[in-house]
Chain A
């Protein structure tokens, strides 16, 4: 149970770090949508993916995220992709535009299968990278503020968005504490002879119980204490509260928003119009405008 590195905020001071979290969330969502747009031909897929790769990785570089963190997050993808690849190879295809790669015992294996798997890999990778950029450059608290801001319209239909936001903030704040708890309880139970690693299913189940129950109990006690403390400091979910941290939307943020919107618009346009056009400018591929 070492450091909680996945998606962790790393306090550098890049322009991405300084940006308004609301802008960042907008950009993230919009760019993710763009990345998932379907395109009409493999060449287009390649081109658009290339563009996306370049831009998103440029942003990644700007966020000064460690490559190590990136690789750890991506590691888990490989297995899934290989699994998918096998499925694509095995299922019969009816649109094999890319031709045969090679054959095994007269069973043709098409390039298309690899292309499909590759496209999925690309999309997932970009999605993960975008999320990592967001979480690495934004303090969890700021994220919550941004989410709360986005949920404001929901207040009009009675959704208790500020309460939800407070809940999220508290949950985030207590994650490290709970992890510590888990660590502590595991050590205590291990000292009583519990083996968390080996053993039959039944034993493992009991082992987990000896971990979960104390964890729940201490969490409930803690939340009780916390509720008292909050109440004692005057917290009332019904009353209006002022905000210490104010979010400032600046020109930089507007720029990012426009950039992201532009990016997404491009992708959506290309996708929707089944655009194949600019390849002819470069005389690549077999399709004409």
Chain B
């Protein structure tokens, strides 16, 4: 599993190009095909600074500040109040004593819940040395946010996949991050669970427009709902843009065997049957209206 140390990862984010912009909500990164054996590790190398990364300087632009993470120890001395930086191979833990406002990622289903419900949410708060009196309020608040307030005392095993993820989200939100990363948070859920999480994410974004969500996924339907889509393939950024722009590149997407959201696939199929769909039709509803005029 240490293959990530082999230098196949060569992310071509040029210095100027910013991957994330402030107030961009829900950019989505679908997966293409990969060279490195561990696809997800590749993406992690890109956005999870605390993963073991031995590749050359990795630039992650966050809120306009550049956080350079690399194997050179000096560079990690930068104060990073928003991201904890950890690198192996010769570098050190950041000597940051300020409580971490982390770029929180949470990973695939199941692994994340720690002890009982309340303990999970409390975990992050405990790490941040929040006073215990305040914790109760915070926990209840976020439990309500994700709709799990009735489950505060249940054991994790009794929850469904979707419910577990909701708890994990609450735990992460309690840390009040500015950026939340979903690492294939829905790939192991059934359709109901997937919808659960998506609905929740939308709700959260509506309530907190400043929240940026970066979702690593290969669910193209989910990607279709994003503000911005980045397509990675073999360590290179292949496409970037709004869902409509990105998915119109049917050929490239088929080449890397990435699916297309239903809507786009239908539009393309109609085109093949000789029915041209005008550009201003941008979702299913409008397509239906257009076809039935």
Contact = CB atoms under 8 A, between A and B. Distances in A.
Q: Do chains A and B touch in the complex (CB under 8 A)?
A: yes
A227 to B, nearest CB: 10
B170 to A, nearest CB: 12
A169 B106 contact: no
Contacts of B221: none
A176 interface: yes
A241 B116 CA distance: 18
Q: Is the interface of B mostly helix, strand, loop or mixed?
A: loop
Interface in B141-187: 155-157, 171-172, 175
Contacts, number: 94
Contacts of B175: 233-234
A95 interface: no
Contact of B132 (A173, A222, A236, A246): A246
Contacts of B130: 242
Interface in B55-110: 84, 86, 99-100, 102-108, 110
Contact of B100 (A229, A234, A246): A234
Q: Is the interface of A mostly helix, strand, loop or mixed?
A: helix
Contacts of B123: 230, 233, 235
Nearest to B133: A246
B132 A242 contact: yes
Contacts of B114: 169-170, 173, 226, 229-230
Contacts of A236: 127
A177 interface: yes
B124 interface: yes
Contact residue range for chain B?
35 or more
Given A233-B171, A246-B132, A222 B104 contact: no
A219 to B, nearest CB: 11
Interface string A220-258: 001001101111111110011111111000000000000
B47 interface: no
A147 to B, nearest CB: 15
B132 A225 contact: no
A244 B105 CA distance: 23
A224 to B, nearest CB: 9
